[in-house]
Homo-oligomer: A and B are copies of this chain.
Amino acid sequence: MSTSDRLIESTRELLWERGYVGTSPKAILERAGAGQGSMYHHFKGKPELALAAIRRTAEEMRATAGAVLDGPGTPYERIRAYLTREREVLRGCPIGRLTMDPEVIASDELREPVDETIDWIRERLAHLVEEGQEQGQFAPGLDGEEIAATVVATVQGGYVLARASGSPAAFDAGVRGLLALLSPQSCSQS
């Protein structure tokens, strides 16, 4: 792995653990085993390095989520697969947590990959809900975009509950509650 790659990987880890304001160049360099000069040779500074790191994480997340959303099964099953896929719940969402960072939100450039990723997943889910409606799996009165927002929000909020309580249990409870509400068996189809 090149020095540039090691810098990006270290930054990704630290952004996940500590966010943008909580991550210092020094910490990045120590973790990457590089000196100051390396970093400022490859990147103009902390914002540019963070942007590269965020973009890579966003790409990876799209691939991970996409694999489940495009996987086998009915629309409901694929939404369930998205909700229940393995996660390191107590570490939080490496993309979603960035929305709580004031400097990420203040920078359109840093916020963009975050927004794009979440929006991309939401659109996929909305499409799945509409597909499910065509198959009579979900109530026809539901709004696909709204249900998709609910699904993504439950995941993102699940991280909050889990980290508040120090246990992944609350995340799982929220997901089970949502799946119960979404369950094709629970509603009369008209």
Contacts and interface: CB of A to CB of B under 8 A. Distances in A.
Nearest to A155: B157
Number of identical protomers: 2
B163 A105 contact: yes
A141 to B, nearest CB: 7
Contact of A182 (B122, B165, B176, B181): B181
User: Main secondary structure on chain A at its contact with chain B?
Assistant: helix
Interface residues of A, number: 60
Contact of A118 (B100, B161, B177): B161
Interface of A: 17-19, 21-22, 92-93, 96-97, 99-103, 105, 111, 114-115, 118-119, 122, 139, 141-143, 145-161, 163-166, 170-171, 173-178, 180-182, 186-188
